[in-house]
Amino acid sequence: MNFMNLPKYMEIELEKMNETIQPLLKKVSKYTFGSVLLISFAIFNLISVMFYGESTPTTLSLIILAFVGAFGMALNKEKKVYKQEINQKGNEYIMGRMKNSRTLSEQRIDHYIKDVKQQNTLALNLFYSFLTEEEEVKNKALYG
């Protein structure tokens, strides 16, 4: 995966995190495609049957189109659940990686973990900051 000119240490960590959430990402993309397709199909056909049909629509055709639309909406709802699970797994990976750090002090690690828990929408930015600080400490220890 291409991460647009990120430092190598960040690319490695993002690849590892991506491996943990990849199966869920595939499901989300399939569910998104399916839900958009089914909802669009149902709406388009309901409109065309109701307003542009030559004869009066049958109850059966309306029920079938309603079920198709409902199934599309159910897929959309399931997609949202999987997106939340992706965020949760990503945050779990980030916090686990932070806990396993041997470079930063316990205080700094606890600070980052607390921030990830409180501001989970900024977890990736906090992870970048954590990795950058960790790399700086490693380089300082290595090169003085």
Sequence ranges of the domains in the chain: 8-101
Q: What is the pLDDT confidence band of residue 144, given thresholds at 50, 70 and 90?
A: low
Q: How would you class 18 by CB atoms within 10 Å of its CB: exposed for 0-12, middle for 13-18, buried for 19 or more?
A: middle
Q: Is the model's pLDDT at 90 over the cut of 60?
A: yes
pLDDT at 54: 66
User: What's CA 142's distance to the chain center, in Å?
Assistant: 36
pLDDT in tens, 116-139: 999 988 999 999 999 999 999 988
pTM, to two decimals: 0.79
pLDDT-wise least confident of 32-36, 72-76, 113-117, 139-143 = 139-143
Q: How far apart are CA 138 and CA 144, in angstroms?
A: 10
Share of the chain above pLDDT 90, in %: 71
Q: How would you class 141 by CB atoms within 10 Å of its CB: exposed for 0-12, middle for 13-18, buried for 19 or more?
A: exposed
- Where do the DSSP E strands lie in 41-139? none
Phi-psi region of 4 (alpha: psi -120 to 50; beta: other; left: phi over 0): left
Compute, in degrees rounded to 10, the torsion defined by CA atoms 131, 132, 134, 138: 130
